[in-house]
Amino acid sequence: MNMIIHNTSITIAVKINPAQCHRLRHIYSFWSSIKRTLACPSCTSSTHQKILLARPNKHAKQQHPERVSACEAMAAPAASALPLDGRVALVTGGSRGIGREVCAHLASLGARVVVNYASNSANADAFAADLNSRGAAALPRAVAVRADVSDPAAVRALFDRAEEAFGTPPHIVVACAGLLESKYPSLADTAVEDFDAMLAVNVRGTFLVCREAANRIPAGAGGRVVTFSSSILGTLLPGYAAYTATNGAVEAMTRIMAKEVAAKGMTANVVAPGPVRTELFMAGKDEAFVRKVEERSMGRIAETTDVAPVVAFLVSDAAAWVNGQVIRVNGGFA
C-alpha cells in the first residue's frame, strides 16, 4: 500500500493479490478510520502522518501527544458539520408564521436561506438581519426577497436573486405562501374574488414555484421540494370549501411532480399541518372554536415549532427515500 498525503487530500494506491482478497476488509477498515480526518500540517514524516491520521491510538498518544491534540482539534469541525451546510433553501412566505419558523430552523442547521415575502419589507429585512446575526460566518446566511408568487416573472426573478446571493441555484425549495379567507363563508356565499385570490396564491403560486424548482435544481444535487397543504382535507369543515379545494390541488400536483423529478434524484413532498397558532389560523376564530380544536388536538393548538422540524427532516439526507408523500402534522386533529 502506498499513501500520498497532500495538505487537504489523501491518495491511497493498493495492489491486491487475488489470493489475499480477505485483506480487503482490513484495508476498508483502515480507510474508514481516516477518510473523515484532515491531515495534520505539523506532522512532517510519513510515519507520524500514518499514526495521526488514523483514530488516535495508545502508541500515538504516548509518542506524539502534542501532534495527536493538533490533529484532533482539526478533525473536530468536520465531525460537527451541520447537516445542511453548503445548501441553499428558498422559502416562500418565509417572513411570517410557519414559513418564518422554517427559515429559522433550516438556518440553524447550516442552510443559507432566501426569505421570500409579499409586502412587509421592514419585517422581512429585520428577520434576515436577525438570522445573519446568529451565525459566525462573515458572509450573509440569509437574504430577504420580495416576490408575488402568483406572477411568473416575479418567481423567475426570485430564483435569479437566490442564485445571485449565494452563487448556486437553491437545493431546497419550500412553498409555504398561503392565503385563507378569514370570514369562512359557505360555498354559496363565497365571492368569486375571494376564491380567485386563494387560487392565485395557494395553487398558481405553488405551481409556479414548483415548476421553477423542477427546472432550476440541478440533477444529482439532492434537490428537495416541500409544499404546504392543510389537514382540513381530512375534516372537510363547512366554511372552508374554496380553501380546501386549493389544498387538494396542491397535494395532487406535488405527488405527480414527485414522480416526474425522481430520476434527477429530487424529492417532492407535502406537509399538511392541522391548526397552528399563527396569524393566518387565528384570524376570525372565537374562544369556543379554539377550545373545540384543542379537544381534538392533544389538548392544545400546535405551535410553528411543531411543524418546522418535519420540514427539516424532509429536506435532509435522511429523507432521500421519502417521496410523493403527504405528512399530516396535526396532533390527531384529522
Q: Is 243 a catalytic residue?
A: yes
Q: Which of 117, 184, 240, 243 is catalytic?
A: 243
Total count of residues recorded for the chain: 334
C-alpha cell at 265: 434524484
* Residue that is written with C-alpha cell 406537509 in the block: 271
- AA identity, residue 102: V
Instruction: Determine the Cα angle at 10 with ends 5 and 11, to 5°.
Output: 95
- Give the closest residue to 280 by CA, choosing from 194, 175, 182: 182
Q: Are 300 and 277 in contact (CB under 8 A)?
A: no
DSSP per-residue string spanning 23-85? GHHHHHHHHHHHTTSPPPTT--SHHHHHHHHSSP-HHHHHH-HHHHHHHHHHHHHHHT--TTT
Residues labelled catalytic: 243
